[in-house]
Structure 1
Amino acid sequence: MSVIRGWCPTAHRPMEAGDGLIVRVRPRLARVTRTQVLGLCAAAASYGNGHIDLTNRANLQIRGVPESQWPALIERLCALELVDPDPALEARHAVLVAPDWRAGDDTHRIATELAARLAEFPDLPGKFGFAIDTDAAPVLQDDPADIRLERDVTGGVILRADGRARGVSIPVDDAVSALLALAEWFVASGGRAAGRIARHAAALPAWADQDALPAPAGPPLGDTGSTLGPVHGVAFGRIEADALAALMTPSATGLRVTPWRRLIVEGGAPSPRSEPPGLDVDACVGAPSCPQATVETRTLACRLAPHVEGRLHVSGCAKGCARARPADVVLTGRDSLFDVAFDARADAVPELVGLDAAHILAHFGAS
């Protein structure tokens, strides 16, 4: 039985995994400076096992941290201004920001004000978050957030509760106050019990329940690149500390972190697009790194992906940490074997049960 946790690891509240503690860093405004990148990499190598994961919330996770090294790691991350020394404030930095922002644009202005006003927000469930996505074509509509600020079809800014097709038009200068008001309503109306706004049964307040339609989503970053610098793809979201540090060439000023397993190297030297195998396949760390997984995931995912039509998700257990949404083909580990479902999540009722890796490969013609 998989243990479903209602929270994500933070720096001050790390999560135990098979390879040690997971310590999560939440880059402010989706950006990490050159100095911070190099400091983070050195800390990951000194206090962890050198593995750094990119999450679907555009966070960076340092893995393999022994409990005895955790206090020193936190001290170092706070000194780098990557973590707030106040655990309560750090817990409120669950903010997803469209990574292509420019200084002074609406996304930058709103995200900066939100960061300065987080102390005003109520305590929210561990997985509750915000998305600031006010480019002409929103890019975060499929990424996890509970309250979104994005463009509507007329070019204005709207506030939209996740799971609702429409939102309410908001002046840019009032955007953060509107976020705060909806977060306060969520708590006051009993939302903590639901955990996420899309699961909350209470009707939205009348002022937030309007008919503004969000603009159509923009193309994924991987299809268009970035004018800020070269885009580096990270297979399965895992990168080694020395490889991440190597991205900081002399001209690079920092990184923009995305929720799509891609890093934008600000000012980096032009290079061929890096699209490694496994970049668009979903697979958690699996066994033995995760104590709840009973199967290895990523080697099988790489072998199987070329033979699967559509999106492939290989999950070490029914939690489905690597992908919350349905995939065309999903393999879920159970008792050292795999169950298979189609157009489903990892916790769906399977159509095939109890297959080992060899049988999986044969079934899809990959043996």
Structure 2
Amino acid sequence: MSAAPLVRGWCPTAWRPMAAGDGLILRVRPRLGRVSREQMHVVADVARAHGSGLIDVTNRAALQLRGLRERDWTSALDPLIAAGLVDHDPVREGRAMLVAPDWRAGDDTHRIASALLEQIDALPPLPGKIGFAVDAGALPVLGASPADFRIERAATGALMIRPDGRPTGAAVADGDEAAALIALAHWFHQSGGARAGRMARHAAPLPDWASDTLSPASGGVAMAQGDHPLGVAIGLPFGRIDADTLDKLAALPGVTGLRLTPWRIVLVEGATSAKLPHVGPVDLSVDACVGAPACPQATVETRTLATRLAPHVAGRLHVSGCAKGCARAAPADVVVTGRVGRFDVALNARADDAPARSGLSADDLIAFLESHPDAA
């Protein structure tokens, strides 16, 4: 029997990188999920000089610089801090905030997220994976993205606060949204939320002011690839971009910055389709973690296999190097999970669910998918 995968109770940050099979992972959380053109060049330079040059965009719209060296990763911090990409305070840098990426200066999302950043020191001690979402556009778009405390648009049109794991929330007065998020974080801390680790697992009764029957508005959709009012949205295969490509995007005429999203899409501000290097649409229905050898938890290669399997799957495909399922927490139509160098497969399942078949090779997987009417 193989050992259970290691589940860490914290996420990497710029000040606390995480070891992987290809070196250290250093995570950068740009303010408001935006990287200016000048900052794009800084990220590219740091990724090349101190790491492998590979950069991942996470499902919390952060950047992960890969392949940094244990002996000198701290030297990567100075240019990132100087560029305003990393906070000089490790505690502030550890606060995760996800922002609806199509915000405009002065709109509700921008206003609330900016206010929360200004008051970030008022937050209590929180577990490392706790995060906030500010999703105050006409329709919420971040409902499927990980966050513990949310400000979003209610079906009534009002703004509401909603803790993760609760289907409804409470109205919040205009201008009080950031203070409400901070108050809910204090309630979480004082009511023993650290023991649960995440809001969705915390069973304590909510305070009266945060408990109501408002439902989020429906109909919001994730950003699509292609032309956008703010520029051009481009898909990243498995959420990865390299330093040279980032430099090239920043150098394009009219480009002012890059908006990060939790959907493996980046929005190139100010770009036009005519000026972008030709890139075809990316199949975003395929999820795959970095796999072996880059991840020490994985015993199998994942992304080449995912590309090979994708034509044989009609719906959502998830290939995971281990049962942690880092690339996708939700169920997929077909999930393939690595185990001791072989593969398990399950349908309409998560990576840690019981498999339909175990111990398969890559060829066995294709034969299974071609013969199974629920998969192909």
Scaled by the length of structure 1, the TM-score of the pair is: 0.97
Paired amino acid for 1:335? V
CA distance in 2, matches of 1:233, 1:123: 35
CA 1:259–1:360 in structure 2 vs 1: closer, same or farther (change >3 Å)?
A: same
Distance 1:291 1:224 in 2: 36
8 A contact 1:236–1:278 mirrored in 2: no
Task: Letter of the 1:362 partner, please give it.
Answer: A
CA contact (8 A) 1:100 1:226 kept: no
Task: Give 3-state SS (helix, strand or coil) of 1:198's partner.
Answer: helix
Superposition deviation, residue 274 in structure 1: 4.3
Q: Distance in 1 between matches of 2:197 and 2:327?
A: 19
Aligned to 2:316, which of 311, 322, 325?
311
* Residue 284 (structure 1) aligned with residue 292 (structure 2): no
Taking the aligned partners of 1:217 and 1:127, their CA distance within structure 2 comes to 28
Partner of 1:349: 354
Instruction: Give 1:355's aligned amino acid.
Output: L
Instruction: For 1:269 and 1:154, locate their aligned partners in 2 and report how far apart those are by CA, in whole Å.
Output: 36
Residue of structure 1 aligned with 2:183, choices 176, 181, 184: 181
Q: What secondary structure sits across from 2:111 in the alignment?
A: helix
Structure 2 unaligned residues grouped into runs of 5+: 372-376
Shift of 1:279: 3.0
Superposed, which structure 2 residues align to 1:210-225 within 5 Å?
210-222=212-224, 225=227
Superposed, 1:139-158 pairs within 5 Å as: 139-158=141-160
Post-superposition CA distance 1:241-291 (Å, at most 9, x none): 101111121210000000001110110132488454443311000000001
Distance 2:135 2:59 in 1: 15
Mapping of residues 74-223 of structure 1, within 5 Å: 74-92=77-95, 94-222=96-224
Letter matched to residue 183 of structure 2 = A
Give the AA of the match of 2:53.
G
Contact 2:225 2:265 in 1 (8 A): no
Residue 230 of structure 1 pairs with residue 232 of structure 2: yes
Name 2:332's counterpart in structure 1.
327
* In 2, Cα distance between equivalents of 1:175 and 1:323: 30
Match of 1:47 in 2: 50
Q: Hey, what's the Cα distance between the residues in 2 that align with 1:208 and 1:226? A: 35
SS in 1 for 2:128: coil
Q: Aligned equivalents of 2:236 and 2:246: distance in 1? A: 10
**Aligned with 1:173: secondary structure?**
coil
The aligned counterpart of 1:30 is 33
Counterpart AA for 2:370? G
Deviation of 1:2 (Å):
0.8
Letter of the structure 1 residue corresponding to residue 197 of structure 2: G
Provide the identity percentage.
57
Whole-angstrom CA distance in 2 between matches of 1:277 and 1:211: 39
Q: Distance in 1 between matches of 2:49 and 2:253?
A: 23
Question: By how many angstroms is 1:167 displaced?
Answer: 0.5
* CA distance 1:245–1:223, change in 2 (3 Å): closer
TM-score computed with the length of structure 2 as normaliser: 0.95
1:300 and 2:305 matched: yes
| Matches of 1:118 and 1:277, distance apart in 2 | 36
Amino acid at match of 1:239: I
SS at match of 1:365: helix
1: distance between equivalents of 2:166 and 2:91?
A: 29
Which of 20, 24, 27 is matched with 1:21 structurally? 24
Q: 1:264 aligns with which of 264, 267, 277?
A: 267
C-alpha contact (below 8 Å) 1:282/1:322 kept by paired residues = yes
C-alpha contact 1:285 1:297 (8 A) present in aligned 2 = yes
Task: Tell me the CA shift for residue 223 of structure 1.
Answer: 6.1
Could you tell me how far 1:97 is from its partner in structure 2?
0.1
Aligned residue identity for 2:348: D
Q: Deviations over 1:155-193 (max 9, x none)?
A: 110000111111000112000111011100001000001
Q: Residue 108 and residue 81 in structure 1: after superposition, are their counterparts in 2 closer, same or farther (change >3 A)?
A: same
2:270 partner amino acid: G
Q: Determine if contact 2:236/2:282 at 8 Å carries over to the other structure.
A: no
| One-letter identity of the residue aligned with 2:184 | L
CA distance in 1 between partners of 2:334 and 2:361 (Å):
16
What is the distance in 2 between the residues matched to 1:320 and 1:52? 20
1:7-41 CA distance string (max 9 Å, x none)? 11100010000000000000110111000001100
CA deviation profile, 1:125-182 (whole Å, cap 9, x unmatched): 1111000001111100000000110001121100001111110001120001110111
Give the letter for the 2:239 counterpart. Answer: G
Secondary structure in 1 matching 2:367: helix
**Distance (Å, rounded) in 2 between the aligned partners of 1:292 and 1:223:** 32
Distance 1:99-1:63 versus aligned 2 partners, 3 A rule: same
Letter in 2 for 1:76: P
Q: Does the Cα contact within 8 Å between 2:234 and 2:281 map onto a contact in 1?
A: no
Q: Which runs of 5+ in 1 are unaligned?
A: none
